[in-house]
Amino acid sequence: MEKSTTGWLNGLLGVLIFSGSLPATRLAVRGLDPVFLTVARASIAGALAALLLLVFRQTRPARRDLLPLGIVAIGVVVGFPLLTALALQHITSAHAVVFVGLLPLFTAIFGVLRGGEHPHPAFWIFSTLGSAAVVGFAIRDGVHASPLGDALMLAAIVVCGLAYAEGARLSRHLGGWQVISWALVLSLPLMAPLAWWLRPASFDGIGQASLWGLAYVSLFSMLIGFVFWYRGLALGGIAAVGQLQLLQPFFGLVLAAWLLHEQVPVVMVLVTIAVVACVAGAKHFSRSVPSRRTA
* Angle, CA 181 vertex, CA 45 and CA 96 arms, to 5°: 60
- What is the amino acid identity at position 201? A
Q: In the 8-state DSSP scheme, what is residue 136? A: H
Question: Is 142 contained in some domain?
Answer: yes
Count of domains for the chain: 1
Residue 177 belongs to what H/E stretch? helix 176-198
Residue 271 belongs to what H/E stretch? helix 266-284
For the chain, residues with pLDDT lower than 50 are 292-295
Question: Is 289 contained in some domain?
Answer: no
CA distances from 4 to 115, 116, 243, 283 (A): 16, 17, 14, 11
Question: Is 67 contained in some domain?
Answer: yes
Question: Is 214 contained in some domain?
Answer: yes
CA dihedral 154, 156, 157, 160 (to 10 degrees): 160
Cα(126)–Cα(281) distance, rounded to whole angstroms? Answer: 6
Cα(167)–Cα(179) distance, rounded to whole angstroms? Answer: 6
> What pLDDT, on a 0 to 100 scale, did the predictor assign at position 254?
78
> What pLDDT, on a 0 to 100 scale, did the predictor assign at position 294?
44
Question: Is 294 contained in some domain?
Answer: no
Helix and strand numbers (H, E) in the chain are 15, 1
Say if residues 136 and 80 touch (Cβ distance below 8 Å): no
CA distances from 51 to 43, 73, 257 (A): 12, 18, 36
Question: Is 291 contained in some domain?
Answer: no
Strands (DSSP E) along 131-249, which ranges? Answer: 140-143
Q: What is the extent of the structural domain holding 117?
A: 3-284
Cα(90)–Cα(178) distance, rounded to whole angstroms? Answer: 35
